[in-house]
Structure 1
């Protein structure tokens, strides 16, 4: 099963050469979830060979333009390209008004349905789940209401020991029950203990997306022990005063978050346009948390 994220944009506020503002595409078992949608996102999808038509779910963290200004263009292109299946948008309440106003004044009637789900920036909650993944909001501390998103795999069924099952001629119609962890009693009275014929599946992995936020311990618990943490790192720590003024974090602080919550891996992004190269941000974070990588555009990271 695939569980990976492709970075489409990693800049903050304004695009710079080779860096677009924030957008990511999460692939969970070949279902695609767009996380934020800055200006230029649809061009980034084309550039990296990713099909917008496969996206059925969009998650918008907050209503600063560098996190959603690309949405109207993407939705319009989906319309022009003949999309008919619904698109589900999880975002602050005002996103519906913003989009409908633009469609109204461009005299656009989409050929497909937009289904809106309002996120609550005051309380963490499960906002989506299917057979593959559960999505919870992370309440962040930014200048305007903002939520991150935690994507957690669903626990997989147990793995069958096929060679042993075939060797003992266990009827194939019993396999689904064994995969669900059931002990079985055969018609002749023999008992099949599940642990003798299956092994446990891998522990579910989680991806925590923390977009714009001040360093704030209030969101640490929900991202505890995540496999991969994406955390904004807008500034180097010598710009801490500016980070606090704008409700952002530094690369050093992002690494401290990863260390405290026990993340397995840290991706840092949302880099200020003042930084033409990113090595210093990576080096700063690695002084605290060595398992840090830069969220580089076009790169895909396994969770």
Structure 2
């Protein structure tokens, strides 16, 4: 599970920082999460293949989280894209995107599907045989969702020495990997546990930006492997949180602690601060395994 941070700063882009956008690679699939201004430039800069992005998840309709979407959609057409593109986001994402395409006469060369969301309850928005994605309802100034990405448990791993010692034909391998015991010709039953190893534990990733401090999300992200949580302010500026509906680094750490997360990645920093190191220092007073997101940083979990 790899996470590439394309941008992780709040409000406005600068020459040295970019607004929110990131790429999650999970089970050989690539998901784009939020799409602030400059996203496609960052994709090129970090040599991420455009063609591998088939699903885009937008948290909310504030500009620093989706103003790069129309440019990316247009560029896909210029690159003669053929694969379908699915966009998940709040109700209104389809209208604002299609209006721009209509007025510019820039229709896509590929199928563009919108999955608009308006539920205030968690719901599954994407699922295939390897990954399931659910919403994490957040509390912000406009309708907002985070997203929980969860790997599905894979097949068990063959113990090749064991199956060869029992002279088991290869035609039974898939059945064994799916968890079945093996019945031999003489009626002997070999338990699956003797023929396989446990599958790799499935990983999970929770993206939570933007939101005020909200403990109700804890049950949705319990035991998550990696939690990305917004940390717009430091504790000294906590008075701005209620007005802007954002969090401090310490509040993000409290959520990670309550959720029993394995790792916490901080992001969405206000550009008022000259350094992001104090965010980590503040969060570590509450939660130990803290990482700082930064533009261009790649995490491997």
TM-score, L = length of structure 1: 0.97
2:139–2:212 CA contact under 8 A, matched in 1: yes
C-alpha distance in 1 between matches for 2:97 and 2:274: 33
Q: Does 1:190 align with 2:188?
A: yes
Residues in 2 aligned to 1:117 and 1:190: alpha-carbon distance in whole angstroms? 52
SS at 2:238's partner residue? Answer: helix
Q: Aligned to 1:156, what secondary structure does the other structure show?
A: coil
Match in the other structure for 1:148: 146
What stretches of structure 1 of length at least 5 have no aligned partner? Answer: none
Q: Report the alpha carbon displacement of residue 203 of structure 1 after superposing the two structures with TM.
A: 2.1
- Counterpart for residue 238 of structure 2: 240
Deviates more, 1:180-189 or 1:100-109: 180-189
In 2, Cα distance between the equivalents of 1:29 and 1:207? Answer: 12
Q: Which runs of 4+ in 1 moved over 4 A?
A: none
Please say if 1:112 is aligned against 2:117: no
Which residue in 1 is equivalent to 2:160?
162
Structure 1 residues 22-41: aligned runs within 5 Å: 22-41=20-39
Output the CA distance in 1 between the equivalents of 2:288 and 2:127.
33
Q: Which stretch of the first structure deviates more once superposed, 228-237 or 238-247?
A: 238-247
Deviation at 1:298, TM superposition (A): 1.3
Report whether the alignment pairs 1:85 with 2:83.
yes
Counterpart in 1 of 2:66? 68
SS at match of 2:149: strand
Task: Tell me the secondary structure at the aligned position of residue 208 of structure 1.
Answer: strand
Q: Distance in 2 between matches of 1:87 and 1:273?
A: 32
Q: Deviations over 1:63-97 (max 9, x none)?
A: 00000000000010000010011100111120110
| CA displacement at 1:300 relative to structure 2 | 1.4
SS of the residue corresponding to residue 220 of structure 1 reads helix
Distance 2:210 2:156 in 1: 38
Q: How does 1:243-258 map to 2 (within 5 A)?
A: 243-258=241-256
User: In structure 1, what is the Cα distance between the partners aligned to 2:257 and 2:188?
Assistant: 50
Q: Deviations over 1:247-288 (max 9, x none)?
A: 000001001111111000000000001012111111111111
RMSD of the TM alignment (CA)?
1.0
* Corresponding position of 2:299: 301
Other structure's SS at 2:250 match: helix
Using the alignment, how far apart are the partners of 1:27 and 1:254 within structure 2? Answer: 23
Partner SS, residue 273 of structure 1? coil
Maintained 8 Å contact 1:121/1:146: no
**Is there any run of 5+ residues in structure 2 with no aligned partner, and where?**
none
